[in-house]
Structure 1
Amino acid sequence: MKKLLITGVSGFLGWHLCQLAQLGWEVYGTYHTHFLEIPDMKMVKVNLTDFQELKGIFNDIKPDAVIHTAAQSQPNYCQLHSQESYKINVTASCDIAGLCADNSLPLAFTSTDLVFDGLNAPYQEIDQVSPVNIYGEQKVEAEAGILKVYPQAAICRMPLMFGRETPTAKSFIQQFIQILKDGKELSLFIDEFRTPVSANTAAKGLLLALEKVNGIIHLGGKERISRYEFGKILVEILQLPNDKLKSCFQADVKMAAARPKDVSLDSSQAFALGYQSLSVREELEILKSTC
């Protein structure tokens, strides 16, 4: 089997991607601080911001392809620690692209829907980027840097993702579920819209892009939905207490990083390639049946 190097396997998306990728690849996964064991997979500890370490991993493993999911992806953290997050979000990403270019290796990079300002959704791949926070700015810079050194790379703009928790990471729904189970009030935005997908669907999209895409592709879901609407479906499917679910506006919550109002992605290009996305309700029904 060919070797696939996946960075950031201790992260939420990286872990789910590994489960799926093992069906067709010999998978090598990198982690930095959060060690975990995944059956039948080789784990490699590496500081991706150290170029010599990174180069050594490529020389040792000699991968046939790379999917780069490792990132500092919390917008508020990036806003407050921009120099630290720049090293992993931009510098390491461009270094990985350079190493892939040197060896003509297929590369899929995980970007974000937050490269847009939220004023002209739904967004196509050709639409102008205009981030409103540092995390989005760093992903924009990484996209440009990667394509400059390696135009054949697949730049995958990812939407809001959810799913079951992993040994070392959670998605946003775990916090929602716990708050409601504890009988506490959960206030969700009615004026912030995304096109969410499950981590499993996102992983399938990344593997498809690795094989079929050069340049930018959107891997969003097929429905535009607010956080509050998502919460209502979650409460219904998982039969959670709903009397504490409240609606609010973005302006009601003070955050370090500005949030765009609507970064819904038009993913018709990916759908045409065979990417398949379920509705939020269908995804949550599957999640309920597997937990």
Structure 2
Amino acid sequence: MKKVLITGASGFLGWHLCQIAKQEWEVYGTYFSHSLEIPGIKMLKVDLTDFSELKQIFDAVQPAAVIHTAAISQPNFCQTHPDESHAINVKASCNIAGLCADSSISCALTSTDLVFDGLNAPYQETDPVCPVNIYGEQKVMAEEGMLKRNPMTAVCRMPLMFGNETPTATSFIQPFIQTLKHRKELNLFIDEFRTPVSGITAAKGLLLALEKVNGLIHLGGKERISRYDFGRLLVEVFQLPSDGLKACRQKDVKMAAPRPSDVSLDSSKAFSLGYQPLSLREELEDCRIFS
């Protein structure tokens, strides 16, 4: 089996990616602050912002491909800690692309729908980027820097992702479920729209892109939905108390990072390559069954 190096294996997406990838690859996963064991995966502690450590891992593993999921992906944190987040989100990403180019190996980056300003959705790969917060700006820099160093990189713009919790990570639905179960108030935006997918679907899309894509690809779901309507669907599928679910608008909540209103992705290109997200209801039902 060929070797794949997956950065950020302890993260929500990285963990799901390891589960899918190990069916066809010999998987090496990196982590930094959250130590864990994943059956069938060789886990390596590495500081990706330290180039010498990064190069040692490449030399030791000699992977046939790399999927770079490691990132600081909380927009509010990036807004208030721009230097710390730049080191992993931009500098490390570009170094990974360079090392992949040196060895002529396949590479995929997880970027984000937040590279767009939310004013002209749904967005295709050819649409101009215009981020409204530092996290989006950093991902644009990572996209451009990686493609400059290694044009063979598959730059995968990911949507909002959800799914069951992993040993070291949760998705956004876990706190939603707990809040509603305890009959506390859950305020969700009626004016923020995304095209969500499950972590499992996203992982399958990344592996497909690694194999078939050079350049930009959108891996969004097939349904555009507001945060509030997603919450209503969650209530229905998980049979949760609904009295705590309240509608609000972005302007009602003070946040460090500005948020775009509609970053729905047009993922037709990925669908034509065989990327097949389920309906949101089906994805959530799978989460309920296996939670």
TM-score, normalised with respect to structure 2: 1.00
Amino acid at match of 2:57: I
SS at match of 1:130: coil
SS at match of 1:110: strand
Amino acid at match of 2:124: Q
Q: Mapping of 1:47-86 within 5 angstroms?
A: 47-86=47-86
Question: Residue 7 of structure 1 aligns with which residue?
Answer: 7
Which deviations, in whole Å up to 9, do the C-alpha atoms of 1:73-117 show, x marking residues without a partner?
000000000000000000000000000000111001000000000
Once residues 180 and 171 of structure 1 are traced to their aligned partners in structure 2, the CA distance between those partners, rounded to angstroms, is 16
Question: Residue 234 of structure 1 aligns with which residue?
Answer: 234
Q: What 5-or-longer segments of structure 2 have no aligned partner?
A: none
Residue 43 (1) aligns with residue 43 (2): yes
Residue 117 (1) aligns with residue 121 (2): no
Question: Residue 286 of structure 1 aligns with which residue?
Answer: 286
Once residues 230 and 279 of structure 2 are traced to their aligned partners in structure 1, the CA distance between those partners, rounded to angstroms, is 11
Which deviations, in whole Å up to 9, do the C-alpha atoms of 1:204-257 show, x marking residues without a partner?
000000000000000000010000000000000000000110100000000000
Q: Mapping of 1:98-247 within 5 angstroms?
A: 98-247=98-247
Question: Residue 17 of structure 2 aligns with which residue?
Answer: 17
CA-based RMSD of the aligned residues comes to: 0.4
Once residues 195 and 270 of structure 1 are traced to their aligned partners in structure 2, the CA distance between those partners, rounded to angstroms, is 14
Once residues 120 and 279 of structure 1 are traced to their aligned partners in structure 2, the CA distance between those partners, rounded to angstroms, is 24
Instruction: Give identity over the alignment, percent.
Output: 74
SS at match of 1:155: strand
Once residues 155 and 20 of structure 2 are traced to their aligned partners in structure 1, the CA distance between those partners, rounded to angstroms, is 20
Provide the aligned length of Structure 1 versus Structure 2.
Answer: 291
SS at match of 2:275: coil
SS at match of 2:66: strand
SS at match of 1:247: strand
Amino acid at match of 1:127: D
Which deviations, in whole Å up to 9, do the C-alpha atoms of 1:126-164 show, x marking residues without a partner?
000000000000000000000101111000000000000
SS at match of 1:92: helix
Question: Residue 267 of structure 2 aligns with which residue?
Answer: 267
Once residues 203 and 251 of structure 1 are traced to their aligned partners in structure 2, the CA distance between those partners, rounded to angstroms, is 33
Once residues 59 and 176 of structure 2 are traced to their aligned partners in structure 1, the CA distance between those partners, rounded to angstroms, is 43
Amino acid at match of 1:90: V
Once residues 15 and 59 of structure 1 are traced to their aligned partners in structure 2, the CA distance between those partners, rounded to angstroms, is 23
What's the CA shift for 1:46? 0.2
What's the CA shift for 1:289? 1.3
TM-score, normalised with respect to structure 1: 1.00
Once residues 288 and 173 of structure 1 are traced to their aligned partners in structure 2, the CA distance between those partners, rounded to angstroms, is 11
SS at match of 1:107: strand
Once residues 121 and 131 of structure 2 are traced to their aligned partners in structure 1, the CA distance between those partners, rounded to angstroms, is 13
Q: What 5-or-longer segments of structure 1 have no aligned partner?
A: none
What's the CA shift for 1:286? 1.0
Structure 1: which 4+ aligned runs deviate by more than 2 Å? none
SS at match of 2:282: helix
Once residues 76 and 288 of structure 2 are traced to their aligned partners in structure 1, the CA distance between those partners, rounded to angstroms, is 30
